[in-house]
Every structure is written in structure tokens, then in C-alpha cells.
Structure 1
Amino acid sequence: MTKLPSLDVVITAHKEGDLLLPTFISAQDSINRLKSDFDLDINIVLYLDNPDSITLSVAEELANKFNLNLFTGKNGDPGISRNQAISLCQSDYIALLDGDDLWSENWLHSVYSDISVRLSHGKSITNIVYHPEYNLIFGGHNAFVRQGNINDSFFDTRFLRASNYWDALCVAPRKLLLNFPYKKNDLSKGFAHEDYHWVCVTIENGVTHLTTENTIHFKRRRENSVSVIANNQNVKCYTTGLQRYS
């Protein structure tokens, strides 16, 4: 039997406080569902960027109780924090989760089901990024969004001139994430949306973005988040070739 790639679940946080606990439970539930059918090595990595005292306390308690890897930094930026966390990982694959968001229980299982099938047929998986089919956004804003599916007849990369098909919460090979790091947001110069820019850069370089059926990320929208501030200030994504019309 083909050995499945190992996995690091990376949870990034800063000032989520007690909300980090349900996020961790959500990750554990998805990991347990994955382990029920697949035998692979899985680690959870907590990375805190300028955490407040409550968030740090919760993270330290989780790390001590469940033997987690806990790191801290002073980046002040979600993309750079992901880059730092990824650089500290050792597994073949990375699953990204923000510290106040939740996964559907079947998320990791669905991803590894696809990986398993591809490997059993001798197909390459090194250039594939997985996304959930749906985002359920709640809190400061409510929405139910179906993310881009390259198999849909209306899917068109030209849509990326105006908006993003996917967000940053994905499962991807660690080497791919190291080769294509997230760009730092610079709101003072009018640029942000690091996940949007990352999607465009990876697609330009031949990366395939797939959605897995019947999976959901539950995304908490807070009024002081970088994405909300960026939208309120009408800042733009860094330009890539996909935004050009020539």
C-alpha cells in the first residue's frame, strides 16, 4: 500500500482568547475522522502572533495537555505568520486553520480520500491545493459561499481579475507553500488580501486548486480583522499577471 503523506495542522492565532478552544476541538474532530480510515502521522502546531494574555494562556494549556508544538512571533500580519509557522513544520502536507474558525468533521478525510485515490493510480499530487466546497461566514457578517470549482462549466480564471475564488484556509504540500510564501499586507500603501494574491501567483505557476465535495469551513468574521479593515479601506490585491488585460 502506498504510504500517505504526513500532515501538520497549523492553527494561527493572535487575540482569539477562549475562541481558540472550539477551534482546537474542531481540528481534533476532523483529525479523528481522518484517522478512523487512514494511517498517517499527524501533528498540531499552534503559532501565535503578538498574542494577548488570554490567548497565550489557552494555547499554553492546550500545548501542555495535548503535547502540541507551540510557537510565538511578532509579525503583525496573517500571511507572514503562516509563512513562519510553515517553515517550522516537518510534515509533507500542511492544513491551515485560523484560530477562531472551524472545520466540518469530514474536511481532512475528504482531502486524504482524494490524495489516496490519486496515489493509487500513480498520479502526481505535488501541485494540488485543496479547499472546502463551502464557506459559512458568521459573526460580524453572515454569508454562505460556494467556492470556485474548476470542473464547473462557468469557471473562468479571468474572474480573478475582480475577486478571489478561494480563501487561505487550505490543505497543500509543505514544499509548495514554502516555494510560494504569502506576501505581507501593506495597508498604508493600499495593498492587502494576501490569500487572493497567493491564489493568483500559484495559478500563474501551474498549481491546481480543487474543492472537495460537501465540506465546509465555518469562518468567524470580526470587525477588527485584517480582511474587514482592508475591505473598509478599499485596498487592493497586489497585481499579478492574472489582473492584467493585455
Structure 2
Amino acid sequence: MTTPDLSLLVTLHNEAHLAGPALRSADLAIAAAEAAGFTVERLIGLDAATETTRRFCAQPVIAERWPCRDYDFRDPFLLRNALARAATGRWVAWLDGDDLISENWLVTACEMLRDAPPDETWVIHPELNWVFDGEENVFTLVDQADPLFSKAYLYFNNYWDMMSVYPRDLALAVPYAPRRPEQGYGYEDWHWNLATMAHGVLHRVAPGTIIAKRRRAESVSRANARISAVCQPSETLRIDRFWGPHLQPPEIPS
């Protein structure tokens, strides 16, 4: 059996019919990637899914193209770890079931990973996050190789969310930490970005690509804000390891 180039992994919980536009955008992006010669595996992960969401996925027009795996983690990060283990592609891409991706997203990310230097591991992010529904914003993501990138920013905020494409081996080597809101921790995507940087991974941006992210009334990010969550401790931000090629220590006058 030939290994697919890419596994597109969609996470669903209570999105129901809202997953329709998400999967439509995914199908268009997959078609563009396949036209460029890449092979793509489809897989949906259901985590404690509602009955309406299950019925949506069981429709023949969906089920014939999108196989589903059923889980009961009630944790989006543990779900991602399980889907990465279930995937068979060389690379993995993520899509939340109520978000949308630009048609060029997968093909551009795959081309960047294909052409990456063999001695480097890259995580590819979209250039823009377009937030809609419960909030309206557009965020520009910063490439780690960009002069605007500052490691110091990562002490205070997260540059990149989870909607990314990267080697499946990295997903297995650096799994997401589980949610721990009862301990005051959150922002597991931020923590994962830091953990991968500790492994020497570079976070790159695919020019001209967009992910439209639906901001729900009750989302993980809003739950984090409500409890004033902080990112889990990270080796990357240890003060004795902080200075690196992207940020030099200030000169101290004698």
C-alpha cells in the first residue's frame, strides 16, 4: 500500500451541519493538491460527538469520502494525538469542523514541505487567520525566518495556532499536552509550538494562504480567557536557553 503524501484530519464534536462548508472547502483544497500530484488521505475524528453531528457524518455523500473514527476524550488535543496515530500520510494537516481553508492551502503547504532542506523540520502555517461569527478579526502570522519574528514575543503570546501542516513523525514525537484547566493551564497549541521549537523545528508561513476560523460563543480559547489560564512551563523559554540566532542579548555597558 502506497503511503499518502498528506493526511487531512478533521475534528468534530457538535458542529453538525456547520461541518458542510468546512468539508466543502477541504474537498476543494484536496482537489488542488491532487492536481499538483500529491496524494491525500481524508479522516474525521469524532470526539464525544452529538447525535446531530453523527447523523451528518453518516450521510452517504459524506461517509463515502470521509471515513470517521469515534473517540470520547472530551479534549481536542488528545483527539489530535489519536488522529495522528491513526493517520498514514507522510504529513498531517488539521481542520476544525467549523473552519474554512483557502483552496491553495494544502498544495502550497505540501510544496513547501517537499522543498524543505533535508536537515530541517518545518511546520507550515497560513499567512492569514480570518476570524468570523462571534468575533471579526484578521491576523497575519509571522514566519520564524522573518526579521519581524521575535522569540521574546512568545513569553507573552502565541504566534501560531493549530491549523498547520507538518510531518506526521513530528506529531508522534511531540504530542499535544492534555487540557488542564483545573490547574490554571491552557493554550496547549502555544505550548506545542514552544515544544517543537525546543526540538529545532522551524515554523514557516505559506504565502497567500488563509484559514477562516469561526469564533464560537463557547470555545477553548474563550474558556482559557475566562479562567485567566497560562501556558504550561516550557523548556524553550528557560532563561538560560533563551538567547538564540533570532534574538541576541543586549550589550551591557562596562
Question: TM-score, normalization: structure 2?
Answer: 0.89
1:185-231 per-position Cα deviation (integer Å, ceiling 9, x unaligned): 11111011110000000001101110010101000010111111111
Structure 1 match to 2:10? 11
Structure 1 match to 2:221? 227
Q: Tell me if structure 2 keeps the 8 A contact 1:130–1:171.
A: yes
Alignment partner of 1:186 is 2:180: yes
* Pick aligned residue for 2:51 from 50, 53, 76: 53
Q: Tell me if structure 1 keeps the 8 A contact 2:3–2:90.
A: no
Cα shift at 1:109: 1.3
Larger radius of gyration: 2
Q: Structure 1's 76 and 144: CA in aligned 2 closer, same or farther, altered over 3 A?
A: same
Cα shift at 1:15: 0.5
Cα shift at 1:126: 6.2
Which amino acid counterpart does residue 32 of structure 1 have in structure 2?
A
Q: Structure 1's 154 and 4: CA in aligned 2 closer, same or farther, altered over 3 A?
A: farther
| Structure 1 CA distance for aligned equivalents of residues 88 and 114 of structure 2 | 20
Q: Residues 18-57 of structure 1 correspond to what in structure 2 (within 5 A)?
A: 18-38=17-37, 40-57=38-55
* Pick aligned residue for 1:117 from 115, 118, 121: 115
Cα shift at 1:176: 0.6
Cα shift at 1:4: 9.7
| Structure 2 CA distance for aligned equivalents of residues 154 and 165 of structure 1 | 12
Structure 2 match to 1:162? 156
1:89-126 per-position Cα deviation (integer Å, ceiling 9, x unaligned): 111111111111010111011112223434xxxx3176
Q: Tell me if structure 1 keeps the 8 A contact 2:33–2:39.
A: no
Structure 2 match to 1:65? 64
* Pick aligned residue for 1:173 from 150, 159, 167: 167
| Structure 2 CA distance for aligned equivalents of residues 192 and 211 of structure 1 | 24
| Structure 2 CA distance for aligned equivalents of residues 136 and 4 of structure 1 | 32
| Structure 2 CA distance for aligned equivalents of residues 125 and 93 of structure 1 | 16
Cα shift at 1:150: 1.9
Q: Tell me if structure 1 keeps the 8 A contact 2:113–2:166.
A: no
Alignment partner of 1:98 is 2:96: yes
| Structure 2 CA distance for aligned equivalents of residues 112 and 189 of structure 1 | 38
Structure 1 match to 2:81? 83
Cα shift at 1:152: 2.2
Identity rate, percent: 29
Q: Tell me if structure 1 keeps the 8 A contact 2:129–2:213.
A: yes
Aligned residue for 1:132, secondary structure, equals strand
Structure 1 match to 2:209? 215
| Structure 2 CA distance for aligned equivalents of residues 106 and 164 of structure 1 | 24
| Structure 2 CA distance for aligned equivalents of residues 74 and 125 of structure 1 | 38
Q: Which runs of 5+ in 1 are unaligned?
A: none
Q: Which runs of 5+ in 2 are unaligned?
A: 241-254
Structure 1 match to 2:252? none
| Structure 2 CA distance for aligned equivalents of residues 139 and 234 of structure 1 | 23
Cα shift at 1:158: 1.7
Structure 2 match to 1:200? 194
How many residues are treated as equivalent by the alignment? 238
Cα shift at 1:157: 1.4
CA RMSD of aligned residues (A): 1.7
